[in-house]
Each structure stands twice: as structure tokens, then as C-alpha cells.
């Protein structure tokens, strides 16, 4: 709040005898902790945002959090915690109550439990239930960070198990490696291939693989044409649908930022997130760290965090994945909307305002918004340019067409904003899935909810080195494969949940796309055969079949180039579109990227084989993507 200036009055001790029941602003004013103009300005902001006065004063650096706690303690005649941590043992077989209300028994004075909370009014509201659980008690005002640390100390084992196993086994890939149906299917495929190889040699094997790859390519090309026309068509006239009324007061955001071994990028991330223009009183940003990640913990410890940023450390468990970390942190979230950012993200300043506005005008079944992702280093090298072109064709063209046609949207993992209650109803994320975002988009669709695209962009750092790119892409492909296998355990049930059109879309988006990456070498052999590079006995195609496949390849090339050029145009990187952001200036070299990207996509085939190997050997291994 720029119009707030520090008071020149000498601060005085807060008079506890004279403060009981008085408004917080008057208590602080009487003690010389704020000036009248500061109070007027804070009350004006409170009338706009409906935020607690104390949070507004802290957010604007008018008064420190400790002063507000002292004033609230005097107001309610409650003590204030004197230590930052309590190791007093406490156990509850059902800790959900304490976690939900952000309260926790702190210490015991004889038969009396002192219950740590950030606001005595919350304690008084639930006092009867608290006493039924622990007996005589009294409130103890405590900073929110202390409450969270105490909750983790007392209920860490419960939260860890819940983070890993709350999602039912049927919808989780944690049972995928022991699923007898899938094991039997894989065994049958191996036996069939062995039988074909023994009976007729490589000719029949190549014929079968070529037919499968051609069918997959035909499906993918047709699907791309379908969504391309949809994204280019003008939106139809709006129809009368039930909308969610704008929330008053403003909705609160809980932003999850999982960090792992981020030595160089964490400080820059915090600087970027502080540029968000949404009222900080309505943001709780939770930095999620792994317990054994000394690198990131030391980096964050050396950084001064504003009051609206907090740190949660996730204890060791059976896996170390991003969705497990977010599942652990979710119970600590009090926001109406749950958002996700990655370590390298740079969101636009007004992004959260855009989320609130779009949710307010969306139908009630839209519970998730996916922001557009782009890169702030697109011109670093050829791989970065290809990655940028691919991202823009996906987020600015393909996903828009899929959303308009009502298909299932595979979410992007960051710049995702979800209404909190539907997310909790779905048991949040699959802790064992390395593309928890795509899986969640599919589960949301199966539950009858919809995702839509957010008209706001978050900029990331593109992987510009082949090894790092392959590692990241192999994790994505492995997750897509595991997601597909999990949901295809019961294909009839999936069909009934989604309906014929969306079911077919899932088969193409997941199944056919994975087949193309895996069988790309079959097409490479075809082109070698066209140019006389392989024995004719290895390529089982007649002249008609060869020309038909050539025609299909030309169509695929034209469609892919159209998607990429439209995406680059919409991003402002080519053509006469609006000027791109300062880090994405137009670059004539982007005109050459779509035609040359066919030399880029073989990297994905390498990543696909790495993913297949890991599905069989290390299905839950999270191959860390290093940035910075």
C-alpha cells in the first residue's frame, strides 16, 4: 500500500488491561504502532478485499507479525507463544480436525492443554469439540508457520501415508506393476511377437508394425485436423448455462511450489512470484521441500520470505515425487483455489486476477483452469526454438481446439488452478504417477467436471540441451503410458464415464501418440527403403501402398507445420501479430523451425525407449529436470 507511511510516534507497550474486546485498529493506534492515516488506508483496503486488518498491516510492512499477535492476545486475553517449536508429545488417531482448522495442542500446563492457533476466535468457535477431544483447554496465539511445523511434527507419519495411499488402488499406478491383467497382456504381446518372428521372419513383423504405426498416424493426423479447424473457427454464440457468482470476499489462493535440489533458481523464483499483483492477504504460497534436500533448504533459509510465503518439509517416504509432495501439503492449504507453479516459472503479474475473473464467468462444472506455458529463453539454440514451437502449437492451438470440442485436457503440471473442494473429493494427485497432471485431467473428466484454458501465460525455462531434454521427455512419456494403462484397466467403465467422443480422444491423445513415438523407427526404415537404403524384402509394401503412405506423411507434415506456425504467430514470434514480451522478441529463424522440427522429434523416440525401460524397471522414478 504505497500511501502508507511509517508513523513517527514513539511506540508504547500494548496495555492488556485496556485492550480487552477493543477493535484491533484502536489497540494499535493507542499503542503508537500505527498512525491514523495508516489505519484509514488499511480500513479502506479491508472494505475492498474483506481481509483481516492484521494481515493487511503485515502485508504492507506497516507492523510486524509479532506486534499483531501481541495486539490480538491483548484483545482476547490469550497468551502468545514464546518459543518457535514445541516437542510436547501429542497423538490423535484422527488428526483431520486439527489439520483442517489449523490448530494443534501445543503444550500442557497441568491438566490444561494450550491450543496453538492464529486467531482466538477460531478457537472459541470450535471450543466445544476441542474439549470433547482433549479436555480442558485454552487458546495460545501462534504464527501460522509454527502451527504448520507442529502439525507436521505430530502427524507427519499420518500425512505421509495419506499422501501416498489416499487415492484408491484402482485409479493409482502404484499397483500397476502387480496388476495381473496388464502383466498377462504384456506377456501375450511378447509371445505373439515371438511367434510371428519364428514363423515368417522379419517380413511379417515389419508388416504388422507398419500397419499399426500407419493406423496410429492416420488417427493422430485426423484428430489434429479436427482440432485445428475447431481452434480456427469463431466461437459460437454463448448459451445460457449456470454460472458461479463472483465471490465476495475475494477468493483466497493456496499456491503450491514443489522444489527439489534447486540451488540457483529458488531466489529468482521468489522474486518473480512477488510481482503478482493479487492482494497478498489472499495468497498463501507454500514452498514444498523434501526432508533430505539440504541444497534447497539451505538456499531458502538464506532468503527472507514475506509473511505470505511458508515452507513445508515433506518426510521421507516410499517415493520422491512432485505429486506426493503436493498431497502432503494440501491439508495445510486454506485457499478456495489451489494453484501450482514450478521452480522456473515466471507468471504474468495479473494472472491470479485473470483466474478469478474466468472462474466467475465460467459454468459451474468448470473446476480447473490450465494456463498457457511458454519459454523465456526461446532463442538460446535450435533445440530451444523447436521446444518453443512445439509448446506454442500445443498450448495455443491444440489444447484450445480440444477444450472447445469438449475433449479431455491433459493438464500441464504448472499454472494449473483448481477449486479446492473438487480436488479434495478426487483424493488429489496420484503420488506414484510421474505425470500427475495428465492423470488428474483424465480423472476430473471421468468425475463429470471440466477443465478450460486460462487466457494468461507463464514463462518457463526451455531445456536446451539434448540429454536434459530426453530426461524430461522420458518422464512425460512414461507418465502418459502409465496413466493410459491405469485408466484402460477397465475400458468399458472408462467408455461409460467419458462417452464415445471423449473416449476416442483419449485413445488418440494417449494410446496412438505413444505408439507413434515407439514405432517411429519403422517409418525411418520406410524412408530408407524409398531411397533404396534397405533390402526390398524388409519393407512389405506394394507400389500403391508406398504412395498411400507417402501421401499420409505429406498430410502429417502439413498439419504439424500449420499447428506450429499458428502457435508461433499467436505467441508473437512470427508474422504481424501483437508484439511478444521482451524476452520473446520476433526472430526470423523461427520461420525455419517447423520444417526442421522433424530432425528434433527423433529425440522423443529415444526418450520413449528410455520411458519403456523405466516402466519395467523403475516405474516411479522421478528423473529430475535441472534448470538454472
CB neighbours of residue 128 within 10 Å: 8
Comparing CA positions, the residue from 342, 290, 287, 327 lying closest to residue 174 is: 327
Check if the beta carbon of residue 451 is closer than 8 Å to that of residue 437: no
Lowest mean pLDDT among 221-225, 240-244, 508-512, 559-563: 240-244
Q: What is the pLDDT of residue 250?
A: 87
Cα torsion for 489, 492, 497, 500, to the nearest 10°?
Answer: 120
pLDDT category of residue 6 using cuts at 50, 70 and 90: very low
How confident is the model over 526-583, as pLDDT tens digits?
776 656 555 555 556 677 877 888 899 999 999 999 999 999 999 989 886 555 554 5
- Report how far residue 337's alpha carbon sits from residue 39's, in angstroms, rounded to the nearest whole number: 29
Q: What is the pLDDT of residue 241?
A: 45
Average pLDDT estimate for 465-472: 93
pTM of the predicted model, to two decimals? 0.89
Q: What is the pLDDT of residue 541?
A: 66
- Percentage of the chain with pLDDT > 70? 86
How confident is the model over 480-520, as pLDDT tens digits?
999 999 999 999 999 999 999 999 999 999 999 999 999 89
Coarse DSSP helix, strand, coil percentages of the chain, rounded to the nearest 5 percent: 55, 10, 30
Average pLDDT estimate for 35-59: 87
Looking at the domain that runs over 253-388+410-473, which CATH code has it been given? 3.90.550.10
For the chain, the straight-line distance linking the first and the last C-alpha, in angstroms and rounded, comes to 33
Residue-range domain boundaries for the chain: 16-76, 96-165, 253-388+410-473
Q: What is the pLDDT of residue 244?
A: 47
Q: What is the pLDDT of residue 199?
A: 53
Question: Each residue of 82-95: b (16+ CB within 10 Å) or e?
Answer: eeeebeeebebeeb
Q: Is 605 helix (H, G, I), strand (E, B) or coil?
A: helix
Comparing CA positions, the residue from 291, 297, 286, 290 lying closest to residue 330 is: 286
pLDDT category of residue 304 using cuts at 50, 70 and 90: confident
How confident is the model over 331-343, as pLDDT tens digits?
999 899 999 999 8
Lowest mean pLDDT among 46-50, 123-127, 485-489: 46-50
Q: What is the pLDDT of residue 138?
A: 93
E strand spans, 236-306: 253-259, 283-290
How confident is the model over 591-617, as pLDDT tens digits?
999 999 889 999 999 999 999 888 888
Higher pLDDT pick, 495 / 189:
495
Lowest mean pLDDT among 179-188, 368-377, 506-515, 589-598: 179-188
pLDDT category of residue 243 using cuts at 50, 70 and 90: very low
CB-side neighbour CA atoms (13 Å) of 375: 24
Describe the crossing of helices 513-530 and 466-487 by its angle, rounded to 10 degrees: 120
User: Average model confidence (pLDDT) for the chain?
Assistant: 86
Q: What is the pLDDT of residue 181?
A: 56
E strand spans, 315-423: 337-340, 346-347, 366-375, 416-419
Q: What is the pLDDT of residue 82?
A: 79
CB neighbours of residue 242 within 10 Å: 7
**Dihedral sign (CA 227, 231, 237, 239):** positive
Q: What is the pLDDT of residue 575?
A: 80
Burial class of residue 551 (count of CB atoms within 10 Å of its CB; 0-12, 13-18, 19+): exposed
Comparing CA positions, the residue from 222, 229, 231, 225 lying closest to residue 512 is: 222
Q: What is the pLDDT of residue 539?
A: 59
Amino acid at each position: 500500500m504505497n500511501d502508507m507511511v511509517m508513523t513517527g510516534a514513539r511506540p508504547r507497550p500494548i496495555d492488556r488491561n485496556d485492550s480487552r474486546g477493543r477493535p484491533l485498529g484502536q489497540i494499535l493506534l493507542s499503542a503508537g504502532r500505527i498512525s491514523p492515516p495508516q489505519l484509514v488506508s488499511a480500513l479502506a483496503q479491508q472494505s475492498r478485499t474483506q481481509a483481516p486488518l492484521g494481515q493487511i498491516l503485515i502485508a504492507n510492512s506497516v507492523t510486524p507479525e509479532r506486534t499483531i499477535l501481541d495486539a490480538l492476545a491483548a484483545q482476547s486475553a490469550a497468551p502468545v507463544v514464546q518459543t518457535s517449536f514445541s516437542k510436547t508429545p501429542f497423538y490423535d488417531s484422527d488428526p483431520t480436525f486439527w489439520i483442517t482448522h489449523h490448530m494443534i495442542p501445543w503444550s500442557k500446563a497441568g491438566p490444561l492443554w494450550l491450543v496453538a492457533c492464529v486467531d482466538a476466535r477460531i478457537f472459541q468457535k470450535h471450543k466445544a469439540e476441542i474439549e470433547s477431544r482433549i479436555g480442558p483447554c485454552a487458546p495460545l496465539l501462534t504464527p501460522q508457520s509454527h502451527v504448520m511445523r507442529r502439525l507436521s511434527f505430530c502427524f507427519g507419519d499420518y500425512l505421509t501415508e495419506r499422501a501416498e495411499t489416499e487415492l484408491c488402488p484402482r485409479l493409482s499406478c502404484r499397483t500397476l506393476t502387480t496388476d495381473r491383467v496388464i502383466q498377462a497382456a504384456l506377456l501375450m504381446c511378447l509371445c505373439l511377437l515371438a511367434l510371428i518372428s519364428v514363423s515368417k521372419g522379419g517380413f511379417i513383423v515389419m508388416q504388422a508394425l507398419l500397419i499399426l504405426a500407419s493406423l496410429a498416424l492416420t488417427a493422430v493426423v485426423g484428430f489434429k485436423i479436427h482440432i485445428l479447424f475447431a481452434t480456427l473457427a469463431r466461437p459460437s454464440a454463448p448459451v445460457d448455462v449456470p454460472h458461479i457468482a463472483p465471490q465476495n470476499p475475494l477468493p483466497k489462493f493456496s499456491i503450491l511450489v514443489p522444489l527439489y535440489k534447486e540451488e540457483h533458481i529458488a531466489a529468482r523464483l521468489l522474486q518473480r512470484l512477488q510481482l503478482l499483483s493479487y492482494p497478498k492477504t489472499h495468497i498463501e504460497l507454500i514452498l514444498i521441500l523434501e526432508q533430505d534436500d539440504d541444497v534447497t533448504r539451505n538456499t531458502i533459509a538464506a532468503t527472507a520470505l514475506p509473511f505470505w510465503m511458508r515452507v513445508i518439509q515433506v518426510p521421507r517416504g516410499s517415493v520422491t515425487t512432485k505429486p506426493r509432495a503436493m498431497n502432503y501439503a494440501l491439508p495445510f492449504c486454506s485457499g478456495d483455489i489451489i494453484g501450482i507453479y514450478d521452480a522456473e516459472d515466471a507468471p504474468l503479474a495479473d494472472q491470479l486476477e485473470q483466474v478469478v475473473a474466468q472462474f466467475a464467468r465460467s459454468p459451474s462444472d468448470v473446476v480447473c483452469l490450465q494456463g498457457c506455458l511458454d519459454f523465456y529463453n526461446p532463442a538460446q539454440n535450435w533445440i530451444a526454438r523447436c521446444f518453443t514451437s512445439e509448446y506454442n502449437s500445443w498450448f495455443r492451438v491444440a489444447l484450445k481446439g480440444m477444450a472447445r470440442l469438449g475433449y479431455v485436457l491433459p493438464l500441464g503440471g504448472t499454472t494449473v488452478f483448481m477449486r479446492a473442494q473438487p480436488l479434495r473429493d478426487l483424493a488429489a494427485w496420484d503420488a506414484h504417477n510421474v505425470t500427475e497432471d495428465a492423470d488428474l485431467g483424465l480423472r476430473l473428466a471421468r468425475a463429470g467436471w471440466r477443465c478450460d484454458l486460462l487466457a494468461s501465460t507463464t514463462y518457463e525455462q526451455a531445456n536446451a540441451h539434448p540429454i536434459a531434454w530426453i530426461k524430461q521427455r522420458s518422464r512425460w512419456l512414461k507418465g502418459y503410458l502409465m496413466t493410459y494403462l491405469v485408466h484402460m484397466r477397465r475400458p468399458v467403465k472408462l467408455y461409460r464415464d467419458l462417452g464415445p467422443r471423449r473416449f476416442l480422444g483419449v485413445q488418440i491423445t494417449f494410446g496412438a501418440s505413444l505408439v507413434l513415438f515407439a514405432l517411429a523407427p519403422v517409418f525411418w526404415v520406410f524412408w530408407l527403403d524409398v531411397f533404396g537404403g534397405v533390402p526390398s524384402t524388409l519393407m512389405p509394401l506394394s507400389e500403391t501402398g508406398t504412395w498411400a503412405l507417402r501421401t499420409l506423411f505429406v498430410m502429417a507434415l502439413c498439419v504439424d507445420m500449420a499447428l506450429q506456425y499458428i502457435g508461433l504467430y499467436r505467441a508473437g514470434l512470427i508474422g504481424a501479430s501483437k508484439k511478444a514480451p521482451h524476452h520473446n522478441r520476433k526472430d526470423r529463424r523461427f520461420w525455419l523451425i517447423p520444417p526442421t522440427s522433424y530432425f528434433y522429434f527423433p529425440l522423443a523416440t529415444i526418450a520413449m525407449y528410455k520411458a519403456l525401460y523405466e516402466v519395467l524397471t523403475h516405474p516411479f522414478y522421478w528423473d529430475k529436470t535441472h534448470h538454472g
